[in-house]
Amino acid sequence: MSWARKILRVDLTKGTCTAEPLKMDWAALFLGQRGLATKYFTAEVDPKVDPLSPANKVIYATGPLTGTMASTGGRYSVITKGPLTGAIACSNSGGYFGAELKMAGWDMIILEGRSPKPVFLHIENDHAELLDASAIWGKSTWDTEAWLKKHFQDPQMRVSGIGPAGETGCLYAAVVNDLHRAAGRSGVGTVLGSKNLKAIAVRGTKGVGNVKDPAAFMKATAAAKKVLADNAVTGQGLPKFGTQVLMNVINEIGALPTRNHRDVQFDGAKDISAEAMHAPRKTDGKPNLVTNQACFGCTIACGRISKIDESHFTVVNKPQYWGASGGLEYEAAWALGAANGVNDLEALTYANFRANEDGWDPISFGATVGAVMELYEMGVLKKEQLGIEAPFGSAQALAFFADQVGKGEGFGKEIALGSKRLTAKYGHPELSMTVKGQEFPAYDSRGIQGMGLAYATSNRGACHLRGYTVASEVLGIPVKTDPHVTEGKAGLVKAFQDATAVFDSSGLCLFTSFAWTLQDVAPQLQAACEGDWSLDNLNLVGERIWNLEKEFNLAAGLTKKDDDLPPRLKKEAAKTGPAKGLVNGLDKMLPEYYQLRGWNAEGVPTAETRKRLGTAALE
């Protein structure tokens, strides 16, 4: 069975917590987590809702394999309508919180309304209640977790919630759990803040004891773990180097967006790479990286635990940052570093700590600072407004803004709105490196053509976690394709998008897909869950989820115009590297993509497609 078969509905306006049975007929169609929560969300929320109004909802959702011995089975997702994009938002996190929620006996929490005053949700197995959060409102995610554990005298509880960024209206506020794991993107934390919900503290001691066929499940998960261990990426590269293994690789192929996408290669890439994190520092002889760390149930362990040089300007006289904490993953290292031309590894690590502590997305923040630096170099923004000189490459400016953004202080208040709103305000919307208002991650689509289409069509705005064709175009997983051509990329993007939706709905981590295909996932689901989880059906489930998200966005008012890239990527050719001379050929890929999806020329699913998938236009 593996679903807990129970959801918690929390009405923040009334202050009530109610248990409901999980709709198993929906689980059969949408699996769990991302997919099933999207079904609930789209059935209950008006797509035209103002994301920060009480009528928006937030769903915390686990998958059927969350809290099991399947490798990486500890994930949860946060689903809402995103304030940064106006599109459906779905952010995924690891750590230990998701498994704890499942072990308390809940598949999902649906949060609705708005509390009249700051509250937190306390869950201990079946018991759930809203409690006064006035003692922690305004506190960092780190202090909030410490306060809750002390308050309940329970060091084993797990906490997920917002920092100051979610309270001050930063449009890309994250939901942070276990100190440094995050449902980081699209402003899901901003919506929690708008509901006056500070945190969810969970203790679950029931466990997960209802897998359908325990013997088959143990056999299937053991076989799948062996695949991860034997694979060069998941067995060696990720544990040793983390996702940062990509920094030098992506730079060499000329797809590392640099200085707000002016360039595609960064001369400082080696200074902020995985290799640099391993190298002893000149100052204290110690490396930035302390160790790797796994999330719940994960046999890969790609997480980075880092320690900042105590003599570095960012932390000197600030001993609260001298301990080890969540270090740089590739996307954050890129956004805080290459996107701004900053090659100071310690400054990047400091900004990353601050992102976790205050609860904001380092990708959107870093990319927005990149736009600010370009506007500064153009003379549009001045030191007097910014409070600091902010040329590309300034680690001082990066750290300065990282201190401000979560609390909404100084110019940080404007950076907190993201690059789309900021560049528009200062008369240069063309400098916003975004899709649907969300900033790009760390792959330049001039050097990796398929990613241009993946970004443009991603249902949550520009994102690397909705169709990671980098795997094929750069790493050759599952097969190598030429990153410089547009031919064949429409089908590739669709396949990655649909498969990703299944991984995100299962409770497993997407990073397993460096080694696993759905063929490795299917036997694990089949052994754990009632129903048909054959490969064929999983492909259909993934496509159904993707289409339902799309229906929400269409009903929310998004159109073909929103499936687009900034002019810079379509008109300004890459200046250096293997992709020199190339722009992204989105226009050559998009019509074919719509056709393969069974959508009309405007990107709307046809009646036939809706019938085949059992979806419908939303109102």
Partner 1 sequence: MQKSLHIDPAKCTGCLQCEMACSYENYQVFNPAKSRIKVFDFHHTGRKVPYTCTQCDEAWCLHACPVEAIKLDAATGAKVVLENVCVGCKVCTIACPFGTVNYVQDTGKVQKCDLCGGNPACAEACPTGAITYVDADWTGLEKMRQWAQKLDSQPAAGHAD
Please tell me the number of Cα atoms within 13 Å of 341 on its side-chain side.
17
How far is CA 122 from each of CA 78, 138, 198, 564, 609, rounded to the nearest angstrom?
17, 18, 11, 42, 43
For residue 357, the tally of other CB atoms under 10 A from its CB is 25
Q: Which residue has the tokens 């060499």?
A: 252
Bond before 239 cis per omega within 30 degrees: no
Report the phi/psi class of residue 192: left, alpha or beta, with left for phi > 0 and alpha for psi in -120 to 50. Answer: alpha
CB 71 → partner 1: shortest distance, Å?
Answer: 8
Nearest to 262 by CA among 356, 170, 377, 169: 377
In degrees, rounded to 5, the angle at the alpha carbon of residue 420 between the alpha carbons of residues 418 and 421 is 75
CB of 420 to partner 1, least distance (A): 36
Least distance to partner 1, CB of residue 75, Å: 13
Q: How far is the CB of 96 from partner 1 (least distance, A)?
A: 8
Structure tokens at 364: 């959107």
577, 541 Cβ separation under 8 angstroms: no
What tokens were used for 542?
Answer: 């993934």
Amino acid at 543: E
Query: Which DSSP letter does residue 273 get?
Result: S
Cα distance between residue 275 and residue 252, in whole Å = 14
Cα dihedral 2, 509, 185, 207 in deg (nearest 10): 30
Q: Judged by CB, which is closer to partner 1: 96, or 376?
A: 96
Strand partners, 123: 128, 202
Work out the number of other CB atoms within 10 angstroms of the CB of residue 276.
Answer: 22
Q: Are 189 and 175 in contact (CB under 8 A)?
A: yes
For residues 305 and 555, which CB has a smaller minimum distance to partner 1 in the complex? 305
User: Is 108 or 294 the residue whose CB approaches partner 1 more closely?
Assistant: 294
Minimum CB distance to partner 1 smaller for 21 or for 155: 155
The DSSP code for 605 is B
- Identity (one letter) of the amino acid at 149? K
Give the nearest distance from C-beta 68 to partner 1 in angstroms.
5
Write down the least CB distance from residue 100 to partner 1, Å: 9
Min dist. Cβ of residue 149 to partner 1 (A): 12
Nearer to partner 1, 249 or 290 (CB): 290
From the CB of 457, what's the least distance to partner 1, in Å?
Answer: 34
Q: Report, in Å, the least distance between residue 126 CB and partner 1.
A: 14
| Residue 115 near residue 15, CB atoms below 8 Å | yes
Q: Exposed, middle or buried: residue 145 (CB in 10 Å: 0-12, 13-18, 19+)? A: buried
Nearer to partner 1, 293 or 459 (CB): 293
Virtual torsion, Cα 456, 458, 460, 461, nearest 10 deg: -20
Q: How far is the CB of 305 from partner 1 (least distance, A)?
A: 4
Structure tokens at 181: 């794991």
Cβ proximity to partner 1, 68 vs 445, nearer residue: 68
**Six-digit token pair at 478?**
């599952």
Q: How far is the CB of 244 from partner 1 (least distance, A)?
A: 16
Angle at which helix 214-230 crosses helix 518-528, to 10 degrees, equals 160
Minimum distance from CB of 218 to partner 1 (Å)? 8
Task: Provide, rounded to whole angstroms, the least separation between the CB of residue 297 and partner 1.
Answer: 6
> What is the closest distance, in whole angstroms, from the C-beta atom of residue 157 to partner 1 in the complex?
11
Residues 150 and 146: their CA atoms lie apart, in Å, by 6
Cβ proximity of 446 and 473 under 8 Å:
no
- Residue 308 CA to residue 328 CA, distance in Å, equals 11
Residues written for the chain: 619
Residues that bind partner 1 (CB under 8 A): 67-69, 71, 96, 103, 156, 179, 204-209, 214, 218, 225, 229, 239, 290-299, 301, 305, 307, 323-325
CB of 73 to partner 1, least distance (A): 9
Considering the complex, what minimum distance in angstroms separates the CB of residue 294 from partner 1? 4
The contacts of residue 335 (CB under 8 Å, 6+ apart) are: 362, 363, 364, 365, 366, 367, 370, 439, 441, 442
Q: Give the three-state DSSP class for 305.
A: strand
Cβ proximity to partner 1, 206 vs 270, nearer residue: 206
In this complex, which beta carbon is closest to partner 1, that of residue 75 or of residue 261?
75
Q: What is the DSSP string of 410-460?
A: TTHHHHTT-HHHHHHHTT-GGG--EETTEE--S--TTTSHHHHHHHHH-TT
Instruction: Tell me the backbone φ, ψ of residue 564, rounded to 5 degrees.
Output: -145, 165
Q: Give the residue with the Cβ less far from partner 1, 325 or 512.
A: 325
Contact 381, 338 (CB under 8 A): no
Residue 217 tokens read as: 């499940």
